[in-house]
Amino acid sequence: MLKNIIYLLTLMVVLALPTQAQYMDVQGGNQVLSITTAAAGSEPTAVVNTSSNLRYRRQTFVITKVTVSTSCPGQNFTLKVYASTIQNNGGTAAPEVTLTNGMLATDFITGIPRFSNQWRTATLRYTASATFAQGNSAELGNEVHTVTYTLVAQ
């Protein structure tokens, strides 16, 4: 009887592990990047935004990573994102990702260590740019990206 109880408890613990500490959220809310100026002879000046963070934690048997993707129908301009200032040994930043409507989930942070329930934080550094040839929002409308971050096994 005792064996069966221990067996059952072990089963419950193991099955609970993948979901026990699953947590990830984007802090800082929605962001707006406005491109307003250009230097003489140059394309419009790119704009950088670092006002939002990605917070995540994981306690598991596997090394995890964060991927990023976006949905932005009718995209005209360029938006890139990079994980800067990763705190608490929260993995390694992948190269800057160009966010393109309909893209496959792309590595954003890799090598997040296992067996740690610490909160990790990465600053989301967005860079928006546009060329003169790409037009403006008054004619084309604002471009709204729904950027999704996902914590998965690596």
Task: Give me the sheet containing 47-58, strands edge to edge.
Answer: 23-27, 47-58, 116-129, 78-84, 97-99
- Bridge partners of residue 68, in order along the sequence: 106, 149
Q: Does 88 bind other proteins (CB under 8 A)?
A: no
Q: Which is nearer to other proteins, 94 or 124 (CB)?
A: 124
Applying the rule CB under 8 A, the residues between 131 and 150 that interact with other proteins are 131-140, 142-150
> Minimum CB separation from other proteins for residue 106, in Å?
14
Q: Is residue 104 a contact point for other proteins (CB under 8 A)?
A: no
Alpha-carbon gap, residue 136 to 50, rounded angstroms: 23
Q: Are 114 and 61 in contact (CB under 8 A)?
A: yes
**Least CB distance to other proteins at residue 49 (A):** 8
Per CB under 8 A, 128 contacts other proteins = yes
Q: Does 19 bind other proteins (CB under 8 A)?
A: yes
